[in-house]
Amino acid sequence: MPAFQALNRLSAHELAARIAAGRATATAAVRDCLERIEKTDRRLNAFVRVDREEALEEAGRIDRELAAGRNPGPLAGVPVALKDLFCVKGREVTCCSRILEGFISPYDATVARKLKDAGAVILGSTNMDEFAMGSSTENSARGPARNPWDLERVPGGSSGGSAAALAADQTVAAFGTDTGGSVRQPAAFCGVAGLKPTYGRVSRYGLVAYASSLDQAGPFGKDVEDLALLLEVIAGHDPRDATSAPEPVPRYRDFLQADPASLTLGLPSRDTLKGMDREVAAAFRAAVDTYAALGAKFVEVELSSLEYAVACYYIVSTAEASSNLARFDGIRYGRRAPGVADLLELFEKSRAEGFGEEVKRRVLLGTYVLSAGYYEAYYGRALRIRRLIKNDFDSALAGCDCVILPTAPIPAFRLGEKIDDPLQMYLTDLFTISINLAGVPAVSINCGFTGGGLPVGLQLVAAPFREDNLIRAAALFEGATAHHLKKPALDDR
């Protein structure tokens, strides 16, 4: 492939190596991505804002640094996209909500700052479910994003724009947040790799909060090596985030080579995995067979509390959302309703006009479960169940390196198919939300396709701060298969 063509199709680690070796430039890589966005995003709606001039200016600066013999960092010249809830100084951040339209961030999120310091070029902001509340990116004030494998299907959510942009080669790397599966489920639906780090592994400073005890920023990559590289850059303690853990950050790329015989995987019982789509179940079984053929060992693990995870999650997360979103009141920033008579009317009209239906639903539910007379019956009980879920994972992971699960029980569904049925939408997160409740890390990788050509995700779960085990197990599978190399035929439509 010519050095200055189709750089957007490379993985992050491939592009970084080319630029560092002088076989490509940051400017050429950014131009390739911008051209791809221009060509495809009218169909995908993956980006809500493209900072074209700023990206080209930053790419030019990096090229000059490299020409002068200086090293701008491990991601020098790599174009990245950020979900529209990462604060980037001087740029609008809206969480794809009308209530935050026009808000210009006065500072960088820690993740954004670390990416800049590593030499990455931020292309712009990607589409998402409003305030990260959703599983399809249909709850966006900017309209739904679409799946590049089938434009009539959703890319997943809430970080669907980031996953779709990466799968379509509009960017070379992307970032999202994962509160109940919002990195892993879109990664599965779009056929890319996505990682949710341990809670506290990556700073939440500068991320607009949905549920503070569950939110965690994570990378999307075109392969597992990308995830290792990107996690090295963004992980680490941050004194500006009280929940950030003071744990050392290993060089995750050192774990890309593994002895299969040293890997033990925990396989849940069939009852735990009931409810899967037939083709998803077949792809999952094939993935288990692949690990077995490589020489990995298996042990059966018990995760009986998972059946309570959906109910538990939608109490804990909505309670925290009710508290976090109280700050959007039409006074300090964002949308302010005109022509109001008093303060109460200002609150009511600004929030009624600014929030979408799903956000209103979750705020109301969260307010209810925290209200006097109901707090203990709902929120208090949910916290106790959360502890049981955490205990289940602790017990399971004490006897294995990773637990192996499907990422989602179904492949990407059609636009509009579940938007009017919140319960069915919530159940698409069946296998992901328990990981956030437990605070443990997990990764989703492509493990095959349905008969209709839709990607299927495989999920690996590890003990707290053992992302090295995730990298080791995921890289082993990728090395034995070629699912992650397949690209959607977006240009043929």
Global pTM reads 0.96
Task: Cis check for the bond before 140: say yes or no (omega within 30 of 0).
Answer: no
d(CA 408, CA 100): 31
Does 374 share its domain with 313? yes
Contact 43, 151 (CB under 8 A): yes
- Among candidate residues 125, 136, 158, 444, the one labeled active-site is 158
* pLDDT for position 87: 98
Total domains, the chain:
2
Check whether residue 161 and residue 17 sit in a common domain.
yes
Do 138 and 245 sit in the same domain of this protein? Answer: yes
Query: 364 and 233 in one domain?
Result: no
CATH number for the domain harbouring residue 171:
3.90.1300.10
> Which one from 83, 116, 196, 418 is the annotated catalytic residue?
83
The reply to whether 255 and 325 lie within a common domain is: no
Residue where the block lists tokens 């820690």: 110
**Structure confidence at residue 492 (pLDDT):** 57
Domain presence at residue 396: no
Backbone angles phi, psi at 219, to 5 degrees: -95, 150
pLDDT at 493: 53
Q: What is the pLDDT of residue 1?
A: 38
Residues 242 and 352 in one domain: no
Q: Are residues 229 and 315 in the same domain?
A: no
Q: Within this chain, do residues 117 and 22 fall inside the same structural domain, yes or no? A: yes
- Vertex 132 angle, CA 129 and 135, to 5°: 60
Q: Tell me, yes or no, whether 283 lies in a domain.
A: no
Per the structure, the complete domain to which residue 324 belongs is given by 308-381
Domain final residue pick, 356, 381, 406: 381
Shortest CA distance to 362 belongs to which of 140, 144, 132, 141? Answer: 132
Using alpha carbons, list the distances in angstroms from residue 352 to 244, 328, 360: 34, 11, 8
Q: Is 158 a catalytic residue?
A: yes
For the chain, helix (H) and strand (E) counts, in that order, are 16, 11
Query: Terminus-to-terminus CA distance in the chain, angstroms?
Result: 24
Annotated catalytic, 135? no
- HSE-up of residue 440 (Cα within 13 Å, Cβ side): 32
| 159, 36: one domain | yes
Q: From CA 369, how far away is CA 379, in angstroms rounded?
A: 6
317 and 202 belong to one structural domain: no
Closest CA to 283 of 167, 452, 473: 452
pLDDT computed for residue 2 by the predictor:
40
Looking at the fold, whether 56 and 166 belong to one and the same domain comes out as yes
Q: With respect to residue 290, please indicate whether it lies within any of the assigned structural domains.
A: no
Catalytic residue among 11, 125, 159, 182: 182
Q: Is 83 a catalytic residue?
A: yes
Identify the domain boundary among 360, 381, 402: 381
Check whether residue 242 and residue 362 sit in a common domain. Answer: no
Low-confidence ranges of the chain (pLDDT < 50): 1-4
Position 270 in a domain: no
In the block, residue with structure tokens 């299907």:
153
pLDDT, position 271: 79
The CA distance from 470 to 17, in Å, is 24
Nearest to 134 by CA among 436, 429, 336: 429
Domain boundary among 381, 413, 430: 381
Please check whether residue 291 lies inside any domain of the structure.
no
Q: Helices 381-397 and 309-324 sit at what angle, rounded to 10 degrees?
A: 120
442 within some domain: no
